[in-house]
């Protein structure tokens, strides 16, 4: 017995180590640049062999080119090896993967939830680029997917990279201080207490070239309207900021009051520059009038979250004016101040935090409270300083601190892997808040369609 016990311990350790080294990433139809972002640096405790399943096309080609570039770079090169399964019948091959690995799912938004469900049923952990669903009629599948993950002790994670954005993390910390923010205001339909806005540019660049988007991106039936796609980040931020680490029940805590959508128009040369395609695809011809594509993507909605009135606006532009950078506004009104994060031309497209004292508020006392709070946060967020311009108090973040900690994608993957190692560590609020988030976005899309 004295001899066998050490051997048993070594044997168990070996099995555990073998299981860990056997875990690999399964990339399914990487038809979006976010798939490559997951692999921008080497991932600890995961095999360097990446199994890629996809149909032939520019999406998978761009993904493979990106991983090759990561391997060849001079600083912090990766060592990815590719096991390719590039075939129209790729989905049937995915099903043969052994259980317990990690599926990375991007690709067409309208197909995601079925691929998520199939992966979870096959025993794979899943990390998925937003959004999981884009239509209200897919909501039952979302519920089933989250329940399947829970029952099979599998990790799941939505690609909410903005949770790891230093600026929004600081905003959330400031709002938890009653001497700085006070209590959240309720607002009214005419003057919501929360304003969420973003404008995204269709034209983006990768290594000096236009980052080509698949033609399906311009079909809202496949990609989704803006609120169902990029709007997921804003809704997620609101829940995490106003009610951190607390569950939201979409049946009792959320009420969608009104919603609307509107189009932008693209010429064929603009479409060609964006997608590389020289003619309108058949699936878009119903939206082409006078040789211009009517891309009915822009969204706005008004809803309440636990009684707090929120306005949300999500828009796409063909090419953003002034800079090829997205703009954001995430604003919360409290009884002492409004705390705003804004990234626009006014801030040179750098996200900045402003604390705006309410009318009649003692500015000196508020500033002192803010300085005290920054001192408390200095361990996690060093080098924060204040600048008062007379209308607002800016919380200035040093450039080196903005870069600290690596990319948001890397931190998202790191958090997800901790859940893969221990699925029981997934916070209890993740599942209900996933449901609440997609209830808001997809119900707004449905209501906007009815209002036309």
The tens place of each residue's pLDDT in the chain, 452 residues long, gives 333 333 333 333 333 433 445 699 999 999 878 899 999 999 988 999 999 999 998 889 989 999 999 999 999 999 999 999 999 999 999 999 999 999 999 988 999 999 999 999 999 999 999 999 999 999 999 999 999 999 999 999 999 999 999 999 999 999 999 999 999 999 999 999 999 999 999 998 877 888 888 899 999 999 999 999 999 999 999 999 999 999 999 999 999 999 999 999 999 999 999 999 999 999 999 999 999 999 999 999 999 999 999 999 999 999 887 556 789 999 999 999 999 999 998 898 899 999 999 999 999 999 999 999 999 999 999 899 999 988 999 999 988 888 765 688 889 999 999 999 999 999 999 999 999 999 999 999 999 987 65
Write the CB contacts of 106 (distance below 8 Å, at least 6 apart in sequence).
28, 29, 30, 31, 32, 34, 35, 128, 129
Q: Does 163-451 match 21-159 at the fold level?
A: no
Q: What is the pTM of this model?
A: 0.92
Q: Domain 163-451: which CATH class?
A: alpha beta
Write the CB contacts of 13 (distance below 8 Å, at least 6 apart in sequence).
none
**Is the Cβ–Cβ distance between 221 and 404 less than 8 Å?**
no
The confidence score (pLDDT) of residue 142 equals 98
CATH 3.30.365.10 fits 21-159, yes or no: no
- Separation CA 452–CA 446 (nearest Å): 11
User: Six-digit token pair at 204?
Assistant: 């983006």
So where are the chain's domains? 21-159, 163-451
Q: Name the DSSP letter for residue 449.
A: H
The confidence score (pLDDT) of residue 19 equals 44
Q: Which of 268, 260, 207, 195 is nearest to 234 (CA)?
A: 195
Strands 125-128 vs 254-267: parallel, antiparallel or unpaired = unpaired
H-state helical runs in 219-320: 220-223, 231-242, 250-253, 268-275
**Is the Cβ–Cβ distance between 149 and 113 less than 8 Å?**
no
User: Six-digit token pair at 365?
Assistant: 């006392």
Q: Which of 169, 193, 172 is nearest to 358 (CA)?
A: 193
């Amino acid at each position: 017995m004295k001899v066998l016990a050490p051997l048993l311990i070594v044997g168990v350790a070996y099995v555990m180590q073998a299981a860990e080294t056997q875990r690999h990433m399964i990339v399914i139809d990487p038809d979006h640049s976010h798939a490559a972002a997951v692999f921008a640096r080497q991932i600890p405790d995961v095999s360097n062999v990446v199994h890629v399943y996809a149909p032939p096309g520019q999406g998978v080609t761009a993904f493979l080119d990106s991983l090759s570039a990561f391997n060849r770079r001079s600083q912090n090169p990766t060592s990815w090896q590719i096991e390719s399964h590039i075939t129209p019948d790729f989905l049937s091959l995915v099903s043969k993967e052994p259980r317990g690995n990690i599926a990375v799912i991007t690709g067409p938004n309208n197909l995601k939830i079925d691929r998520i469900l199939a992966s979870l049923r096959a025993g794979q952990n899943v990390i998925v680029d937003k959004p999981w669903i884009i239509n209200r009629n897919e909501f039952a599948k979302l519920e089933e997917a989250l329940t399947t993950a829970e029952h099979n002790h599998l990790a799941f994670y939505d690609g909410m990279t903005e949770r790891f954005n230093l600026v929004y993390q600081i905003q959330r910390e400031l709002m938890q201080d009653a001497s700085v923010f006070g209590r959240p205001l309720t607002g009214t339909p005419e003057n919501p207490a929360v304003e969420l806005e973003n404008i995204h540019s269709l034209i983006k660049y990768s290594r000096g070239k236009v980052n080509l988007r698949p033609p399906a991106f311009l079909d809202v039936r496949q990609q989704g309207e803006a609120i169902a796609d990029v709007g997921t980040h804003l809704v997620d931020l609101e829940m995490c900021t106003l009610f951190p680490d607390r569950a939201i029940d979409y049946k009792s805590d959320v009420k969608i009051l009104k919603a609307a959508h509107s189009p932008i128009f693209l010429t064929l040369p603009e479409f060609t520059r964006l997608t590389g395609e020289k003619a309108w695809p058949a699936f878009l011809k119903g939206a082409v009038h006078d040789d211009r594509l009517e891309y009915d993507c822009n969204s706005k909605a008004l809803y309440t979250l636990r009684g707090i009135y929120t306005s949300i606006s999500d828009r796409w532009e063909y090419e953003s004016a002034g800079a090829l950078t997205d703009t954001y506004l995430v604003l919360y009104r409290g009884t002492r101040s409004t705390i705003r994060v804004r990234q626009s031309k006014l801030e040179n497209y750098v996200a900045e935090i402003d604390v705006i004292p309410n009318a009649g508020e003692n500015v000196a006392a508020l500033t002192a409270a803010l300085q005290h709070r920054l001192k408390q946060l200095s361990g996690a967020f060093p080098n924060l300083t204040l600048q008062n311009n007379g209308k607002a108090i800016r919380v200035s973040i040093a450039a080196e601190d903005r870069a600290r900690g690596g990319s948001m994608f890397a931190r998202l993957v790191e958090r997800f892997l901790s859940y893969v190692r221990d699925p029981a560590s997934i916070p209890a609020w993740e599942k209900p808040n996933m449901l609440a988030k997609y209830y808001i976005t997809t119900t707004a899309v449905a209501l906007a369609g009815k209002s036309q």
